Chain A
Amino acid sequence: MNRQEKRNGVVVETQGLTKIYGKGHTEVIAVKDASLSVSHGELVALLGPSGSGKSTLLSAMGLVNPPTMGRITIDGNLVMEGPRAFVDVLAFRRTHIGFVFQKANLIPFLSALENVQVAMAINDIPAREARKRAMDLLDYLKVADRANYYPNILSGGEQQRVAIARALANNSPLLLADEPTAALDGQLGREVVELFQKIAHEQKSGVMVVTHDQRVLELFDKVYFIEDGVLRLSSDEATVGKH
């Protein structure tokens, strides 16, 4: 069974995830007892004011910043319990998680095509196959005509599309996006979220987007709200169009 066929059920689940920085007087609880889940084909928003713990939660889910307590399960695998990892984190991140950020963070000395290819190259995908898939992804995201351009001559929207293509390169079941629309104007921001929606629904990936933008919340299947490190599901709020 390949990964595409496996795509049903929960892609990521956190249980009682807590992240504490510092000790004693300097101790700060960034995330407290957060439990959430994102299913395959689901577009989930994580809302919250600055400093509420959004990025901390996202980095923990992305296996970049291990939690102090709690469990993280991805694609049916228990990957972390507290700071203890049960998998090779680097390899797992390479194959299971794609990242998109507020800034595209494209590598400036690689063309758009190479920026997508590099994600596959570090996952040992043969160059020819990687090139074809990268072109397909750029085409899917409607930036194929910019394939050989360097990031510095791409517009903000084009850069973000290339970054999304890179995040999708390894066919990862989980896509984490940290305020990907913050640097874009309203229309472009909406287009990007629509793109995530399309990716979630068509590619059956679980997509979690940290955002401030209340105008696009109706595009999400589920919205979580975090404040002072405390997470709650906001599916009952009027801001979520579908629910």
Chain B
Amino acid sequence: MNLAVRDIRHNLGRFILTAMGIGLLLMTVMGMTGIYRGLVEDATGLIDRIGADLWVVQRDTRGPFAEVSNIPLSLEDRVRSVPGVSRSRAFLSHTIQRESRGKPLRMVVQGLSWPQDHGQWLPIIRGRPLAAPHYEMIADRILGLPLGEKVKLGKDLCTVVGITSGMAGTGGDGMAFFSLLDAQAIQRDITGEAIRLDRTAQQEKTATRDIGRIQPALIENGTSLLGTMAPPISAVLIDVSPGANSRQVLNTIAAWKDVSVYTSADERELLLKGNVDKSRRQLWLFRVILVITSSIIMALIIYTLTLDKVHDIAMLKLMGARDSVVLGMIMQQAALLGAFGYVFGYYVGQFAFPYFPRRVSLAPIDLLVIAGVVLGISILSSFLGIWRTSKIDPNLVLS
């Protein structure tokens, strides 16, 4: 006879409400875990998908994701000349905030090296990769931009031609992919007035120097290019030829004094230890606190449920019930409470998580680990009830 189930059946309303409370706590634990995984996936998704073997960035910087990296576009050609390099691509990444339909629109602008890279490697769920060098964009669905939407970026209108899924930056902002030139144009969206003012300032500055006074033509020649020079890029991506020694290519480029070079694994590690690390640690701490809170609440609930049954347990002991009968009842109730809470938390989460501002990505292994944790806290939380049970004297019934 299963006493735990019968007690629950008799007090079903109370059990359901308690399980729902526990379930909401567990849902939060699942949410935190999912946000953590989502954070890591978002952060590393681009590196994993873009499929480059090596990343070349500004000297002594940690790459385009950890910090600002500015290198000249010409580096793409220089790298291509290194033996063992089969392909090099310019890469640009920066975050912008604009308005769309009256709401702030934050996006991570990614420049793809046209014409080598059309974004065919992206997880496009609707639409197509880029088909033209200008005025087209592929947006992640987080951005909420529908196919065919025209977005004013810089001085141009860009049309959404493709929608991706799961492409977000470390801050949770959706990514948008453009040709490199469009991405640069968005980055260097300087008004004519600003360029004119800059030129004037430069001319006045040069005129006051000796060189300006000796060769006045320099004033005009040196400042006329301001605002027209190609803006820098963030990185150059290298694909190593099949059979070539990747380490040798890396060493060759690393010997150059103006750049640093990382493997994809290095870049991934830098990202996780840099941008993501604090969020990761914070989420981990929240999860630990929530698990402890859940354990304490469950322990108190089980303890209270045990207190309600002190007289009944004394009666069972008087009738000669083994300790295992009583302990089994308490542990089973704790386990059932945990199990129902887990199932409730999971299903509520399925409805709630899509509305979370950050992507929640729960892998089967996460659910398995949380189930293990729930089992653990169920057992732990029943100890208080078991301790109380051990103190119950069957004489209580006689008194």
Q: How would residues 18 to 57 of chain A score, 1 for a CB under 8 Å from any chain B CB and 0 otherwise?
A: 0000000000000000000000000000000000000100
Query: Are B320 and A121 in touch, CB under 8 angstroms?
Result: no
Are B10 and A108 in touch, CB under 8 angstroms? yes
Distance from A103 Cβ to chain B, minimum over Cβ atoms (Å)? 9
Report the Cα distance A150→B7, complex, angstroms. Answer: 12
Cβ–Cβ contact B320 & A105, under 8 A: no
Residues of A contacting B398 in the complex (Cβ-Cβ under 8 angstroms): 55, 58-59, 62, 64-65, 101, 178
A109 interfacial by beta-carbon distance below 8 Å: yes
From residue A80, how far is it (CB to closest CB) to chain B in Å?
Answer: 15
B315 within 8 A of A: yes
For B369-399 the 0/1 string (1 means CB < 8 A from A) is 0000000000000000000000000110111
Residues of A within 8 Å of B10, CB to CB, are 108-110, 150
Picked from A109, A114, A119, A127, the residue with its CB within 8 Å of the CB of B319 is: A119
B residues near A90, Cβ cutoff 8 Å? 320-322
Contact with A along B1-14 (1 / 0, CB 8 A): 10100110111000
Give the Cβ gap from A104 to chain B, nearest Cβ, in Å. 10
Q: With an 8 A cutoff between CB atoms, is B312 at the interface?
A: yes
Contact of A109 among B7, B315, B318, B322 (CB under 8 A): B7
* CB neighbors of A among B1-35 (8 A): 1, 3, 6-7, 9-11
A148 CB → nearest B CB, Å: 13
- Check B9–A105 contact: CB distance below 8 A: no
Q: Of A91, A122, A150, A178, which contacts B316 at CB under 8 A? A: A122
By the criterion CB–CB under 8 Å, are A64 and B394 in contact? yes
Q: Which residues of A contact B11 (CB under 8 A)?
A: 109
**Per-position 1/0 for A81-96, Cβ under 8 A of B:** 0000000001111110
Q: How many whole Å from B157's CB to the nearest CB in chain A? A: 70
Q: Is B311 interfacial (CB 8 A cutoff)?
A: yes
Give the chain A neighbours of B316 by CB distance below 8 A: 107, 118, 122
In contact, A109 and B320 (Cβ under 8 angstroms): no
Q: Which listed residue (B1, B320, B395) contacts A59, Cβ 8 A? A: B395
Q: Check B1–A91 contact: CB distance below 8 A.
A: no
Chain A positions within 8 Å of B321 at CB level: 90, 94, 122
| Contacting pair A65 B395 (CB below 8 A) | yes
Known contacts: A59-B395, A64-B395, A108-B312. The answer to whether A123 contacts B3 by CB under 8 A is: no
Is the interface on chain A under 10, 10 to 19, 20 to 34, or 35 or more residues?
20 to 34
Bound Cα distance from A95 to B322, whole angstroms:
13
Contacts of A59 in B (CB 8 A): 395, 398
Which A residues are in CB contact (< 8 Å) with B151?
A: none
Q: Which of A55, A95, A122, A150 has the most chain B CB atoms closer than 10 A to its own CB?
A: A122
Which residues in A have their C-beta under 8 angstroms from that of B395? 59, 64-65
**Quick check: is A117 within 8 A (CB to CB) of the other chain?**
yes
- Assembled-state Cα–Cα distance A119/B325 (Å): 12
A99 within 8 A of B: yes
Whole-angstrom CA separation of A114 from B312 in the bound complex: 14
Alpha-carbon distance A63/B320, docked complex (angstroms) = 10
> In the complex, what distance in Å separates the CA atom of A166 from the CA atom of B320?
13
- Nearest Cβ on chain A to B333's Cβ, whole angstroms: 11
A118 touches B3 (CB 8 A): yes
Q: Is the CB of B1 within 8 A of A101?
A: no
Which residues on the B side are within 8 Å of A105 (C-beta)?
Answer: 311, 315, 397
The CA-CA distance from A121 to B318 in the complex, in Å, is 14
* Interface contact B320-A110, CB-CB below 8 Å: no
Residues in chain B near residue A122, CB distance under 8 A: 316, 319-322, 325
- Give CA–CA (A52, B311) in the complex, Å: 25
A94 and B319 in contact, given A58-B398, A107-B312 (Cβ under 8 angstroms): yes
Who on chain B is nearest to A95 by CB?
Answer: B320
CA distance A130 to B1 in the complex (A): 10
Contact present for A93 and B319 (CB under 8 Å): yes
CA distance A65 to B23 in the complex (A): 44
Q: Mask for B36-53, Cβ within 8 A of A = 1, else 0?
A: 000000000000000000
Residue on A with the closest CB to B8? A109
Q: Which of A165-209 touch B at CB < 8 Å? A: 166, 178
- A residues less than 8 Å from B312 (CB atoms): 107-109
Is there contact, CB below 8 Å, between A123 and B320? yes
Beta-carbon nearest neighbor of A176 in chain B: B398
A109 CA to B6 CA, complexed, in Å? 6
Q: Known contacts A55-B399, A118-B319, A122-B316; can you find 17 more A-B pairs with CB under 8 A?
A: A55-B398, A62-B318, A64-B395, A91-B320, A93-B318, A93-B319, A101-B398, A105-B315, A105-B397, A107-B316, A109-B3, A109-B11, A114-B6, A118-B316, A119-B319, A122-B321, A130-B1
CB pairs A–B below 8 angstroms (17 shown): A97-B320, A99-B318, A101-B397, A105-B315, A107-B312, A108-B10, A108-B312, A110-B6, A114-B6, A117-B1, A118-B3, A118-B319, A122-B319, A122-B320, A122-B321, A122-B325, A127-B1
Q: Which 8 A-B pairs have the closest CB atoms?
A: A94-B320, A109-B10, A121-B1, A93-B320, A122-B321, A109-B7, A107-B312, A105-B315
